[in-house]
């Protein structure tokens, strides 16, 4: 009954947004409250769940998305994105630009949270598609597939790192196996699958499309690349240091503070203000206008993502994940498949990859720790793969992609949702293959 209620709420959400043309944020509020009523949450607790979901979601990503939008807008308007696009096309050619973006996305994705990486790579994707008149989804999805794979499979991302600790796995071995699984997953879900999406009509957000500038007014290539990639460089260096130095010294605490994503984004914006703004002759008044416009452009996106967080929180507070896990535990499945399936169904029901991964891990952890035949490193990857399955309307990442690329729900499902599912299924296949080889 509970699963039918979730299905009804998801259908209701799609109908409200696509048929009734209701603002997605309002639709999420209506559906979240409806779900709370149907799932039996006490009346005096429903609004608390909605508010907690809104607050928790906005609290984790508002700074990152807003500062990322400011950096992205400046990278676009200064001509830096245009310069980066020209350099990449000169190196790889238009024919192979997808593969260049996949490599960049994979490198960027290793140290960054998915949302952070997304807002940083979007200006680059849109600059290339705008300048060379290429389909945005066809060019951009492979890069985002690389980001998604690193988020779900590879330490030091929070979810796989937490799973490594839960299962007492080896971080290095998990990373090695994860790379073996990640590469085919990115290729199949990225450049190969994207060939079927050339006909999707997408008009990306104007805020990340800069005016075409003459060559003499563009910033230098080194300046453009270093400024655009500074958040990645800072996060990568701080992560490397913190993984080596586990002391409680003031240096460690200072690096941890400076390496926190919001602080990194703020530092990067300040640097970009000088390197791509003041140094290029742009006054502070114009820079302030650029930053203000960028936040206006993504404000509704923030509300939509917050609405998805409210819906997710109501589902979580209803205890639906316990219903799902109780139903699946009775199945006689291979442990790695069971871990993947648990994570996949919770992900599809609740929308959060992290919640799905950690919930599934909590259920199978005792089995993994007491059964020496189960490879803990592979269980980390199996659950990580399951946690990426079929992102749809209850997932903030779905709406992030939809709104930035300005797509319909139908086109978002046939591109984004299918891509995530390919990543998930290929990930499971890779895990099972490695399990046969290393057993």
3-state secondary structure the chain: CHHHHHHHHHHHHHHHHHHCCCCHHHHHHHHHHHHHHHCCCCHHHHHHHHHHHHHHHHHHHHHHHHHHHHHHHHHHHCCHHHHHHHHHHHHHCHHHHHHHHHHHHHHHHCCCCHHHHHHHHHHHHHHHHHHCCCCHHHHHHHHHHHHHHHHHHCCCCHHHHHHHHHCCCCHHHHHHHHHHHHHHHHHHHHHHHHHHHCCCCCCCCHHHCCCCCCHHHCCCHHHHHHHHHHHHHHHHHHHHHHHHCCCCCHHHHHHHHHCCHHHHHHHHHHHHHHHHHHHHCCCHHHHHHHHHHHHHHHHHHHHHHHHHHHHHHHHHHCCHHHHHHHHHHCCCCCHHHHHHHHHHHHHHHHCCHHHHHHHHHHHHHHHHHHCCCCCHHHHHHHHHHHCCCCCCCCCHHHHHHHHHHCCCHHHHHHHHHHHHHHHHHHHHHHHHHHHHHHC
Give the pLDDT mean for 330-353: 85
Of 17-26, 165-174, 219-228, 414-423, highest mean pLDDT: 414-423
Cis peptide before 218 (omega within 30 of 0): no
Chain centroid to CA 222: how far? 27
Give the C-alpha separation, 81 to 84, whole Å.
5
**pLDDT of 297 above 80:** no
Task: Read off the pLDDT of residues 172-223 as tens digits, 9 standing for 90 and up.
Answer: 788 889 889 999 999 999 999 999 999 998 877 776 666 677 878 889 989 9
- Residue 411 has a pLDDT of 95
- Residue 410 has a pLDDT of 93
**pLDDT of 327 above 80:** no
Q: What share of the chain in percent tops pLDDT 90?
A: 35
- Residue 81 has a pLDDT of 77
Q: Which of 410, 404, 209 is nearest to 300 (CA)?
A: 404
319: phi > 0 → left, psi -120 to 50 → alpha, else beta; which? left
The Cβ of residue 274 has, within 10 Å, a number of other Cβ atoms equal to: 12
Half-sphere exposure of 274 (CA within 13 A, CB side): 6
Give the pLDDT mean for 85-100: 86
- Residue 113 has a pLDDT of 65
- Residue 72 has a pLDDT of 79
- Residue 306 has a pLDDT of 86
Average pLDDT, the chain: 86
Q: Which of 209, 132, 185, 158 is nearest to 404 (CA)?
A: 209
Give the pLDDT mean for 232-255: 84
- Residue 210 has a pLDDT of 62
- Residue 329 has a pLDDT of 61
Task: Read off the pLDDT of residues 362-418 as tens digits, 9 standing for 90 and up.
Answer: 778 878 888 888 899 999 999 999 999 999 988 888 998 998 899 999 999 999 999
pLDDT tier at 7 (50, 70, 90 boundaries)? confident
Give the C-alpha separation, 264 to 129, whole Å.
28
- Residue 192 has a pLDDT of 95
Q: What pTM value is reported for the model?
A: 0.76
Burial of 345 (0-12, 13-18, 19+ CB in 10 A): buried
- Residue 254 has a pLDDT of 94
**pLDDT of 357 above 90:** no
Instruction: Choose between 428 and 56: higher pLDDT.
Output: 428
Give the pLDDT mean for 414-428: 97
pLDDT tier at 48 (50, 70, 90 boundaries)? very high
- Residue 288 has a pLDDT of 94
- Residue 382 has a pLDDT of 96
**pLDDT of 157 above 70:** no
Give the pLDDT mean for 307-335: 78
- Residue 209 has a pLDDT of 66
């Amino acid at each position: 009954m509970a699963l039918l209620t979730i299905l009804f709420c998801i259908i209701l959400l799609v109908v409200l947004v696509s048929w009734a043309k209701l603002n997605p944020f309002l639709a999420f509020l209506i559906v979240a409250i409806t779900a709370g009523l149907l799932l039996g949450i006490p009346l005096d607790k429903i609004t608390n769940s909605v508010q907690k979901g809104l607050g928790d979601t906005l609290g984790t990503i508002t700074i990152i998305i807003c500062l990322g939008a400011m950096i992205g807008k400046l990278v676009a308007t200064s001509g830096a994105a245009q310069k980066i696009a020209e350099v990449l096309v000169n190196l790889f050619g238009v024919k192979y630009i997808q593969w260049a973006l996949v490599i960049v996305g994979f490198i960027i994705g290793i140290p960054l949270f998915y949302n952070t990486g997304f807002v940083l790579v979007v200006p680059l994707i849109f600059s290339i598609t705008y300048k060379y008149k290429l389909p945005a989804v066809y060019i951009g999805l492979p890069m985002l597939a690389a980001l998604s794979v690193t988020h779900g499979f590879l330490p030091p991302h929070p979810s796989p790192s937490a799973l490594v600790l839960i299962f007492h796995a080896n971080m290095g071995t998990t990373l090695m196996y994860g790379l073996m699984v990640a590469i085919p997953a990115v290729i199949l879900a990225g450049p190969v699958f994207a060939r079927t999406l050339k006909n999707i009509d997408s008009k990306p957000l104007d805020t990340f499309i800069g005016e075409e500038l003459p060559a003499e007014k563009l910033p230098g290539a080194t300046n453009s690349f270093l400024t655009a990639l500074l958040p990645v460089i800072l996060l990568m260096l701080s992560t490397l240091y913190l993984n080596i130095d586990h002391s409680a010294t003031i240096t460690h605490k200072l690096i941890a503070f400076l390496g926190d994503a919001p602080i990194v984004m703020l530092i990067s914006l300040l640097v970009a203000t000088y390197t791509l703004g003041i140094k290029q002759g742009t006054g502070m008044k114009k820079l302030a206008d650029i930053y203000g416009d960028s936040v206006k452009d993504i404000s509704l996106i923030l509300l939509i993502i917050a609405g998805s967080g409210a819906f997710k929180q109501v589902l979580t507070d209803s205890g639906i994940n316990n219903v799902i896990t109780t139903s699946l535990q009775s199945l006689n499945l291979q442990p790695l498949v069971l871990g993947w399936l648990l994570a996949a169904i919770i992900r599809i029901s609740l929308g959060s990859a992290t919640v799905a991964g950690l919930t599934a891990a909590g259920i199978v952890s005792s089995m993994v720790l007491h059964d020496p035949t189960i490879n803990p490193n592979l269980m980390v990857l199996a659950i990580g793969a399951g946690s990426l399955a079929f992102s749809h309307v209850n997932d903030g990442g779905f709406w992030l992609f939809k709104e930035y690329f300005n797509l319909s729900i139908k086109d978002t499902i046939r591109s984004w949702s299918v891509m995530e599912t390919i990543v998930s299924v290929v990930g499971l296949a890779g895990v099972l293959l490695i399990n046969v080889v290393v057993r």
